[in-house]
Amino acid sequence: MNTALIIALAVGFCIQCALVRRHVAHIAAHRDTVPPAFAGHIPLAAHQKAADYTRAKVRLGLVDFAVSAGLVLLWTLGGMLDALDRFWRGTETSALWSGVAVVITYIVISALLELPLSLYRTFRLEQRFGFNRMTLRLFIVDLLKQGVLLLLIGVPLVTLVLWTMIENPAHWWFLLWVIWLAFSLIMMWAYPAFIAPWFNKFRPLADAALRARIEALLQRNGFASQGIFVMDGSSRSTHGNAYFTGMGTNKRIVFFDTLIGELSHEEIEAVLAHELGHFKCNHISSRITIMAAVIFAGCALLGWLAVQTWFYADLGVSAPSVHIALILFLLIAPAFTFFLQPGFSWLSRRHEFEADDFAAGQSQAAHLIHALVKLYRENANTLTPDPLYSSFHDSHPPAPVRIAHLQGSSA
């Protein structure tokens, strides 16, 4: 297993290096010319800013990739996880509570190790390009709130998971999958009403004309929501966005305040029609189904690995246990699932095209095109990504391809 892990990490890093090199070179080669489809809509200075911003982001992403791979090796072959486990086993508490302590301590240490890159990304990279509005005080407050959520939600969840694994030695992997599925659905329902307001302020949309336009769109599509809200996204960033959140009877429509100030009513309706398209085209349910199937396979694999003594020995752990099996699996899984990313990206881009088609049928395609152009400009999204990098990583189609698709649908 240790050889397979090292090979997976090394191959993944080499692929990522090659993709980033291609992406950076491709963007640099097109930095001084705005693509014809965007000429007259996006100034050259804005296009160059997007090129420089994207190159800085992907380079930092490569550093993040390398650091993450190094931490995986330190936790496993470097013996950090084994040392942490031996420390808590030395307290002579029960298997359940020592396991909970190991998992929570691992989460906290991992978060602290990732903190420097997060700080650099927010206060250097985003600040350099004029996007950051996060203060250090707000950053710290957010961290403290996340810590509270870890105590209120994370500790009970970890306790339930480990108790299930200990008390059901034959079938815990299936019960673990059921817990994951139930927790995910509950969080999708609860997040907009109970968790998101901890971090952002949400106010009902005050613009009566825009609200009437949106309500008409929802009514003719048979879509019910618990309200239309504007979020204070500008308190942290100048990036704009809009999204649906929640599920069942607890669905909400959320606009960033930065988006409201940039788009016309027709353009906002078109953006919302795109998001509505994901629901009407059953993308949300299909993604949940796919992820449920993937997690089911993962839980079954974990159930088999957990009883293999070589699984622990090869990854630097001296004492097998269910909590160590869980952490090890979560640590090494990304090294192997990295190679599945092009498939998930392809599916996501297909869904984006379908949602664009739905929006073009509900509004004018030109309105969505104008909205997307403004969002590309304001968010500094590159208009010239490398095709291979984009096919591997991007959940949305490249800007020129997406615009051409919309223009074709309106022809």
Residues designated as active site: 275, 356
Instruction: Name the pairing type of β-strands 228-231 and 202-204.
Output: antiparallel
Residue type, 158: V
Q: Is the dihedral of CA 222, 224, 230, 234 positive or negative?
A: negative
Residue type, 267: E
CA-only gyration radius of the chain, Å: 23
| 226 contacts 251 by C-beta, under 8 angstroms | yes
> Would you state the torsion angle of the CA atoms of residues 76, 82, 84, 90, taken in this order, to the nearest 10 degrees?
170
Bridge partner residues of 104 (DSSP): none
**Both structure tokens of 107:** 């989460």
Neighbours of 198 (CB within 10 A): 11
Measured between alpha carbons, how far is 111 from 306 in angstroms, rounded to an integer? 25
Residue 123: in which H helix or E strand, if any? Answer: none
Neighbours of 87 (CB within 10 A): 13
| 133 contacts 238 by C-beta, under 8 angstroms | yes
From edge to edge, which strands make up the β-sheet containing 252-256?
Answer: 202-204, 228-231, 252-256, 242-245
Bridge partner residues of 230 (DSSP): 203, 255
Bridge partner residues of 252 (DSSP): 245
Measured between alpha carbons, how far is 241 from 396 in angstroms, rounded to an integer? 14
